[in-house]
Amino acid sequence: MDRDPRSIDLILLPIPRRIQESSEHFDLRRGLQPAFHGVDARIEAAVNRFLPRFAMNGSAVADRSTIRIAVDASTIEHLDGYRLTIRPDGIEVVGQSDAACFWGLQTVIQLVESASAAGNMIPCCRIEDWPDFATRGLLHDVSRGKVPTLDTLKRLADRLASWKINQLQLYIEHAFTFAFDPEICEPHDALTPDEIRELDRYCRERYIVLVPAVATLGHMGRILSMPKYRHLAEIEPQSTWSEMAWPERARGFTLDIANPESRKLVERIWSEIFDAFSSPVVNICDDEPWDLGKGKNKARFANGRGAEAYIEQIRWMCDLCAAQGRRPQAWSDVIKNHSELMDRLPRDLTILHWGYDDCADCDATAKFTRTGLQTIVCPGTSGWKRVLNAMNLAERNIQAFAAAGKKHGAVGLLNTDWGDHGHFNGLACSWHGIASGAALSWNADHVTGEKFDQLLSRQLFGDEGAAIFSDLREASRVADKCETWRLMWTPIRRVADDPMVPSVDLVRRCASAAEDAIDALQALGHSVNAVDDRAELALACRATVIFAEKVAAAQTIRRESGGVAMPDRSTRFDTRPASEIAESIDDLAHDYAAVWKRHNKLSGLWDILTALAAVASEFRVRSLTPDRHDLE
């Protein structure tokens, strides 16, 4: 017998651990009035934000049912656990803590949103639920091209809260208006301290800790490329940030930690970060110091002394944080290769153990937990250097790290959403990976695959869009095999010889699935309030189709002219002439710029438009450059 499509475990994300459904229903049209017992003001504020959204207050107060929310640690076994009971005459949420009550309320809201779209009836039930990990986070890159507006970050926080994520990290290399040197980033391209403070308050209201993740060792390309700071680099940059290609920017430059001036620069940076963020936790990063001991300090850091110097730098940073009452985190990539030095790490340091592909050593988590260091596992959404996230790869990666984290005693899961090579992919393209991280950090055994796709599709697009993420998953299979955005902007003569280039058959299948997804998104009409998500996903699907045409063109050129000749207007690839492909790239760039400007600051947009213009020019005889009006 087929399941009722409105069954609770087909609606809620994450799916609760224990659900007892009954045949009765609660009628939303009766209206709700709140009753609070032992909860803090944030819970009351959350309920007051929630109730008016569904027009449930039309009935007289005396006729309304009660939504009772109470803290009672004595009856709830698990940390952050809650019990939700829905009866025909009312709703009750009992939580182990205030935060637990908030997570229970998110479950209520999801049920109400679903019921509001399907007859205003909520199935009566009893739900018992709790998380596997105390820390359930997302790191969002705001430095490598795309800098979100405050409204976009608030929208992100709202969705994270609805999926029971309790930590949001903003990864910052330079995209912050530093008072000590405003030249580090233009004000219109950066997040300001006031914006951070407002977002900080917004997140706290939603039981989310806003954490700064600031690069002050490796990945300091923008700052160290400035003439005034170049002498502080281990290997000094020879060009400015604007002159660097995306791969060079992503690699970054490394601070000369032997130079006393370097620590003064780090202190200035962190002083302003501490002032803007209230979080008791900070991410000092210290990952991928590629140049450490390879330049000015080659002799000084020889024979293993570089690792010791790195540990001393970590210890100094931890002291800096401790002086401000903050607990530091750091990435694992250097530390995991020097087990002999782990006992020298401060005990208040949390290790962020990361890896983003199928070869990631998830079980290395045990290296850190065995030493007594708190450890958080860190998979990724696999959207960087891609036009559409590699959904299958991301799901496997997140699932593997969640399992390893639970097995080896990690305290949390921090999903990462990076933006290498200009951060082409839109935020909506990462929703699948972000939601997977939320579900698997709540329950490491959470359902994945087709059922998860249906859950997420229904949450974002309703029943009429229930197949959208299935289409997107098929369209994204090419991104499992290669970095689609990197190959998109790579000159066509080099694409066919790239070791990561996929087969034409694969890109054609993915392009077909992308076209199906576009049709499904367009068929939603105006009945679904997900305009921003639909626009970004449609752009990524259009780019996937163009990518397929570029791969086919590269293979044609290689076959017919040895990779030397360029296509002209008379050349056809699949069903479209080259000039028509060029026009579709122009249209994509125009629409992409409009969507970018609705949700992000201008930083990085010109680089993306220039790259798309170069792709279009490959399908034209004449050269093409973007118009400046796209930035106005």
pLDDT given at position 562: 53
Question: Residue 300: what pLDDT?
Answer: 95
For 311, phi then psi, to 5°, come to -60, -40
Pairwise CA distance, residues 519 & 468, whole Å: 10
Q: Where in the chain is the domain with CATH 3.30.379.10?
A: 8-129
- Distance between CA atoms of residues 559 and 546, nearest Å: 20
pLDDT tens per residue, range 537-578: 999 999 999 999 999 988 887 776 554 444 444 444 455 788
Among 98-102, 234-238, 312-316, 499-503, the least confident range: 499-503
Question: Both tokens of residue 101?
Answer: 């009550």
**Mean pLDDT, residues 235-252:** 96
- Token readout for 413 is 């899961």
Question: Is residue 60 predicted with pLDDT exceeding 90?
Answer: no
**Which pLDDT does position 624 carry in this prediction?**
37
Pairing mode, strands 209-214 and 167-172? parallel
Count CA atoms closer than 13 A to 512's CA, side-chain side. 8
Supply 166's token pair: 């309790």
Instruction: Kindly state the average pLDDT of the residues 213-240.
Output: 97
Angle at 570 between CA 565 and CA 576, to 5 degrees: 105
Distances, alpha carbon 556 to alpha carbons 174, 489, 543, 576, in Å: 42, 18, 20, 14
d(CA 86, CA 103): 15
User: Is the pLDDT reported for residue 186 higher than 90?
Assistant: no
> What contacts 47, CB < 8 A, 6 or more positions away?
34, 36, 67, 69, 105
d(CA 101, CA 104): 5
Q: Averaged over 94-120, what is the pLDDT?
A: 90
pLDDT of 632 reads 46
How would you class 343 by CB atoms within 10 Å of its CB: exposed for 0-12, middle for 13-18, buried for 19 or more?
exposed
- pLDDT, average across residues 28-40: 90
Sign for the pseudo-dihedral over CA of 190, 616, 381, 283: negative
Average pLDDT over residues 176-187: 95
HSE-up (13 A, CA, CB side) for residue 225: 21
Give the pLDDT score at 136. 98
Task: Give, in order, the Cα–Cα distances in Å from 562 to each of 145, 292, 490, 556.
Answer: 35, 41, 17, 9
Please tell me the least confidently modeled range out of 223-227, 242-246, 496-500, 606-610: 496-500
- Split at pLDDT 50, 70, 90, the class of 62 is low
Q: For residues 273 and 212, is the Cβ–Cβ distance under 8 A?
A: yes
Interval 337-358 mean pLDDT? 95
Amino acid 570: pLDDT: 40
Whole-number average pLDDT of the chain: 91
Q: Could you tell me where in the chain the CATH 3.20.20.80 domains are found? A: 135-446
SS3 readout for 335-360: HHHCHHHHHHCCCCCEEEEECCCCCC
Residue 630 confidence (pLDDT): 45
Checking if the pLDDT of 55 tops 60, the result is no
SS3 label, residue 140: strand
What is the C-alpha to C-alpha distance for residues 159 and 99, in angstroms, rounded to an integer? Answer: 16
First to last CA, the chain: 57
For the domain made up of 135-446, the CATH class stated in words is alpha beta
Instruction: For residue 66, give both structure tokens.
Output: 């009660």
18-27 and 32-37 as β-strands: parallel, antiparallel, unpaired? Answer: unpaired
Q: Are 210 and 279 within 8 A, CB to CB?
A: yes
Tell me the HSE value of 29 on the side-chain side, using a 13 A CA sphere: 6
**Reported pTM:** 0.94
More confident position, 414 or 4: 414
Within 8 A by CB and 6+ apart from 617, the residues are 582, 623, 624
Using only C-alpha atoms, the chain has a radius of gyration, in whole angstroms, of: 25
Q: How much is the pLDDT for 342? A: 93
pLDDT tens digits, 417-469: 999 999 999 999 999 999 999 999 999 999 999 999 999 999 999 888 989 99
Mean pLDDT lowest for which of 301-315, 527-541, 556-570, 586-600? 556-570
**pLDDT at residue 27 is higher than 50:** yes
Q: Are 297 and 255 contacting, i.e. CB atoms less than 8 angstroms apart?
A: no
3-class secondary-structure state, position 20:
strand
Q: For 79-95, b where at least 16 C-beta lie within 10 A, e where not — what string?
A: ebbbbbbbeeebbbbbb
Which residues contact residue 586 at a Cβ distance below 8 angstroms, ignoring those fewer than 6 apart?
616, 624
**Superfamily (CATH H level) for 8-129:** Chitobiase/beta-hexosaminidase domain 2-like (3.30.379.10)
Confidence label for 631 from pLDDT (cuts 50, 70 and 90): very low
Q: What are phi and psi of 552, to 5 degrees?
A: -65, -40
